[in-house]
Structure 1
Amino acid sequence: MANRPRVVVVGTGFAGYHCLRTLESLLGPDDADLVAVNPTDYMLYLPLLPEVTAGILDPRRIAVPLRTKLPRTRLVLGSVSDVDVADQKCTVVDIEGRESVLEWDRLVITSGSVTRLLSIPGVAEYAKGFRSIAEAVFLRDHILRQLELAEQSDDPAERAARTTFVVVGAGYTGTELAAQGQLLTREALRRYKGLSEKDVRWLLVDMAPRVLPGLSKRLSGPALRVLRRRGVDVRLQTSVKEVTATCVKLTDDTEIPTRTVAWCVGVRPDPLVESTQLEAVQGRIAVDRKLRTAANQNVFAAGDVAAVPDATRPGEITPMTAQHAQRQGKVAGVNVAASLGHGMMHQYKHHDLGFLVDLAGPSAVADPLHIPISGLPAKAITRGYHLLALPGNRARVLADWAIDLVSTRQFVQLGLVRGTSMEDADQPPM
């Protein structure tokens, strides 16, 4: 192993996972030592996270095991805290907080993005994050706990607060979460004799003038109609001013008593970008179309953490989407292999193929190849795409979907929420 070049990939999201899959297919066992640094031993398929909260999918379905799918890659459980580009070393902090130094011959930074926390009082303390399996399962437990406590309460004000659920951010994730969450509580209410549908309130809040502001306008109208038809209170051009243990205060001076604020405002590039001291564009590592950095041709970056020139939109960089991350990861793998003498380098170019948004139940909106559709056809296309894009567990996901069609969901808590209020709830950090 000492004589082989070492390729270190930081992060195994869409970009990192597909980079390593490509490297394993292009390089022989003796061509390079492949190392992945990631806090978990799986690749998380984020687009299906709302279905985990809704209880449709088992959490393991969207966790693609790295040791199974990447048999030739050595996994280091931890995070990279610092990168020394000149000496070609990086500092790794393992899951127990211990530091070590990892040398590399080729470095691929694909650490993705993190939840964007605005400087709003109370958000970090009281809002619920929605970026990991732990947060998704915790949120489901929390929602069911609030229904239980609301039914037991004799105080009308407390009952109303516990059955009010606020989702902040009407982008892809927030819109899907509000849609899935509303159907989750509607179905769960059949088990709560002391509550009815009129007692439960869902709100979706965003500063943008429309839902799904980052996607095609042709998806916004149908999605908004579906949400409002189901009774979701959509507040546009409105933001959050403060979150407390018992309410959320909006910028229009409205105070909404609630025990649940789900934070889906958006993401920002991994803070690792700052420690690399590499040139950055909009907070993302600057790379050329071959995904290489100017400071060191042995350093590559892809996905949300990389500012990749968009060949289809001159002068702009590619948006932070799974569609681009997956394809950039493959190109990064091809180019790293080429830099080691295996194949030719490619330049990244990808035309946006459209987007799909699952609105729970039979509803969805999509614009595959920029042809807008909605309803059951969009639902079929959405699920078909996810099955194709999911790197593993497809049969199990399909089985869960089939079971959800023919049987009722299990509405039980898993014991993740030990507190009885937002102040003492034991929640995962955002």
Structure 2
Amino acid sequence: MTKILIVGGGYVGLYTALRLRRRLRPGEAEITVVDPQPNMTYQPFLPEAAAGSVEPRHVVVPLRRLLPGCRVVTGKVTGVDHEAKTATVVPAEGVPTAMSYDVLVLAAGSVSRTLPVPGLAESGIGFGTVGEAIYLRNHVLSRLDVASSSDDPGQRRRALTFVVVGGGYAGVEVFGELEDMARYAMKVHSGLSHADMRWVLVEASGRILPEVAPAMSDYTVKRLVKRGMEVKLDTTVTSMVDGHVVLSSGEEFDADTVVWTAGVKANPLAMRSGMPIDFRGRLICTDTLRARGLQGIWSAGDCAAVPDLSGVDAICSPSAQHAVRQAKVLADNIVASLRGKPLKPYRHRHVGSVASLGLHKGVAQVYGIKLRGWPAWLMHRAYHWSRVPTAGRKLRVLLDWLTTSLTRREIVSLGEIQSPRRDWEVLVRETGHTLSRNTSIG
């Protein structure tokens, strides 16, 4: 059988495997999916998971359950030898192995774009996984607890200062959702008020949400500022050592929370493997999603440079909207190539963009129609709910929203899950110390 190796279990990897399973005849090919995580994360719902509107488990889909009949390998592909048609796979545990293939689908997606900012590794918090969303929720709620329990003005001010770096969709949505959650949580903290919090969004360019029209971007800034939040455009963070944030404008302040959402870049796998890449490190593909100049290699999504035949952009932008649509065409073209049939080019009609700014707040631009407030927020939820894989996940998300609307938000910080063994290790050390002291006295 033809060996199809799919590198990555995100949007492209999952939807390509799903469609191949439906289109291929029994015994025609075997499909292997390799990803560092055994599940696919629906990232547009991460801000709501961080804010507590959606249960974190409900924004992930187990790959093995969704892809019966496919082999799912939990590991990382570190390199591809196209001449030998092998990929080096480093499993979660064990030694690296060489996995052969006949057809390779590079769906490794993107990674966070970081900069050499002093203190970023120690003080910054990423936002691209469920684990980071859970951590961030607990961290923000714990900062309210710290401020409520302290009489030190400096400590309270530092604990209640929250910074988000990056004004794209992820940055704006997590900025709005977390502030909305923290504002609600303030109700149970006597001695604190919303005015005690400081929320700062830092964006290097002259506008936020570059995917929407400038008027919608300006509207979003005005709404955020009206809520008492700060939006600093044409500004960068030059240092955050020990939580001391220094901006390019010269402003300095302390913050316990710095969330880094300053864009993404293509996974470097194609570059490391000597494949043809563009100036952004994306694998250069034809409009049929086949790697240019390479036989048997296909790609789509954030790690692929695919011509935009709609004329909106020269190259398709990195978005979930493109990834899901490209996966369908990619799978169909793989089947067509195996059967000697002509390939179809990828064409699309841009639907628009939606963004949530917190509960009952949002902006949207769909098919040229601009929406704000409640209608945009409902559009955001409806669109992304329709894109969540499996009927079971859709039902769970819907029940989460219903529960949140009928009851109060959960504002409990489960801080112990950040380091669950800390108390246990302290107890064991104290017990050992006590036993040693009693033995020496005896």
**CA-CA distance at 1:369 after TM superposition:** 0.7
Q: How does 1:142-291 map to 2 (within 5 A)?
A: 142-281=139-278, 282-291=280-289
* TM-score, L = length of structure 2: 0.91
Cα displacement string for residues 183-213 of structure 1 (whole angstroms, at most 9, x for unaligned residues): 1111111121132111111111101111112
1:405 and 2:405 matched: yes
Q: Could you tell me whether the CA contact under 8 Å between 1:238 and 1:250 is conserved in 2?
A: yes
1:345 to 329, 343, 346: 343
CA distance in 1: counterparts of 2:223 and 2:257, whole angstroms: 22
**CA-CA distance at 1:97 after TM superposition:** 5.5
**CA-CA distance at 1:246 after TM superposition:** 2.8
Q: Could you tell me whether the CA contact under 8 Å between 1:334 and 1:343 is conserved in 2?
A: no
**CA-CA distance at 1:315 after TM superposition:** 7.5
1:85 and 2:86 matched: no
Q: 1:379 matched to which residue of 2?
A: 377
CA distance in 2: counterparts of 1:182 and 1:289, whole angstroms: 42
**CA-CA distance at 1:119 after TM superposition:** 1.4
CA distance in 2: counterparts of 1:408 and 1:191, whole angstroms: 12
SS at the partner of 2:111?
Answer: strand
Residue 58 of structure 2 aligns with an amino acid whose one-letter code is: R
Q: Could you tell me whether the CA contact under 8 Å between 1:38 and 1:77 is conserved in 2?
A: yes
**CA-CA distance at 1:221 after TM superposition:** 2.2
Q: Could you tell me whether the CA contact under 8 Å between 1:27 and 1:342 is conserved in 2?
A: no
Aligned-residue sequence identity (percent) comes to 37
Q: 2:328 matched to which residue of 1?
A: 330
Q: Which moved more, 1:211-220 or 1:50-59?
A: 211-220
**CA-CA distance at 1:339 after TM superposition:** 1.6
Structure 1 unaligned blocks of 5 or more: 420-430
**CA-CA distance at 1:314 after TM superposition:** 7.9
Q: Could you tell me whether the CA contact under 8 Å between 1:113 and 1:268 is conserved in 2?
A: yes
Cα displacement string for residues 384-421 of structure 1 (whole angstroms, at most 9, x for unaligned residues): 111111113001101111111111111222223349xx
Q: Which moved more, 1:256-265 or 1:374-383?
A: 374-383
CA distance in 2: counterparts of 1:198 and 1:341, whole angstroms: 65
Q: 1:70 matched to which residue of 2?
A: 67
Q: CA 1:315–1:159 in structure 2 vs 1: closer, same or farther (change >3 Å)?
A: closer
Q: 2:311 matched to which residue of 1?
A: 313
SS at the partner of 1:56?
Answer: coil
**CA-CA distance at 1:131 after TM superposition:** 0.6
Q: CA 1:387–1:312 in structure 2 vs 1: closer, same or farther (change >3 Å)?
A: same
Cα displacement string for residues 345-397 of structure 1 (whole angstroms, at most 9, x for unaligned residues): 21111121100001111111111112111122212221111111111300110
Q: Could you tell me whether the CA contact under 8 Å between 2:212 and 2:365 is conserved in 1?
A: no
Q: Could you tell me whether the CA contact under 8 Å between 2:35 and 2:75 is conserved in 1?
A: yes
Residue 16 of structure 1 aligns with an amino acid whose one-letter code is: G
Q: Could you tell me whether the CA contact under 8 Å between 1:290 and 1:335 is conserved in 2?
A: yes
CA distance in 2: counterparts of 1:216 and 1:124, whole angstroms: 34
Q: 1:303 matched to which residue of 2?
A: 301
**CA-CA distance at 1:99 after TM superposition:** 0.6
Larger Rg: 2
Q: 2:366 matched to which residue of 1?
A: 368
Residue 128 of structure 1 aligns with an amino acid whose one-letter code is: I
Residue 60 of structure 1 aligns with an amino acid whose one-letter code is: R
Q: Which moved more, 1:144-153 or 1:215-224?
A: 215-224
CA distance in 1: counterparts of 2:340 and 2:42, whole angstroms: 30
**CA-CA distance at 1:216 after TM superposition:** 2.9
SS at the partner of 1:53?
Answer: helix
Q: How does 1:19-168 map to 2 (within 5 A)?
A: 19-96=16-93, 98-168=95-165
Q: Which moved more, 1:391-400 or 1:370-379?
A: 370-379
1:389 and 2:390 matched: no
Cα displacement string for residues 84-115 of structure 1 (whole angstroms, at most 9, x for unaligned residues): 11111000011125311110010000100001
Residue 377 of structure 2 aligns with an amino acid whose one-letter code is: K
CA RMSD of aligned residues (A): 1.5
CA distance in 2: counterparts of 1:87 and 1:25, whole angstroms: 29
SS at the partner of 2:242?
Answer: coil
The number of equivalent residue pairs is 416
Q: CA 1:327–1:98 in structure 2 vs 1: closer, same or farther (change >3 Å)?
A: same
Cα displacement string for residues 265-323 of structure 1 (whole angstroms, at most 9, x for unaligned residues): 01000021221211101210001011111332200011000000111228811111111
CA distance in 2: counterparts of 1:344 and 1:357, whole angstroms: 38
Q: 2:418 matched to which residue of 1?
A: 417
Q: 1:11 matched to which residue of 2?
A: 8
Q: Which moved more, 1:205-214 or 1:276-285?
A: 205-214
More helix by share: 2
CA distance in 1: counterparts of 2:79 and 2:150, whole angstroms: 50
Q: Could you tell me whether the CA contact under 8 Å between 2:167 and 2:209 is conserved in 1?
A: yes
SS at the partner of 2:115?
Answer: coil
SS at the partner of 1:359?
Answer: strand
**CA-CA distance at 1:344 after TM superposition:** 4.3
Q: Could you tell me whether the CA contact under 8 Å between 1:147 and 1:162 is conserved in 2?
A: yes
CA distance in 1: counterparts of 2:257 and 2:119, whole angstroms: 13
**CA-CA distance at 1:343 after TM superposition:** 5.6
**CA-CA distance at 1:218 after TM superposition:** 3.7
CA distance in 1: counterparts of 2:225 and 2:404, whole angstroms: 24
**CA-CA distance at 1:178 after TM superposition:** 0.6
Residue 13 of structure 1 aligns with an amino acid whose one-letter code is: G
Q: Could you tell me whether the CA contact under 8 Å between 1:112 and 1:304 is conserved in 2?
A: yes
Residue 321 of structure 2 aligns with an amino acid whose one-letter code is: Q
Q: Which moved more, 1:309-318 or 1:403-412?
A: 309-318
SS at the partner of 1:280?
Answer: coil
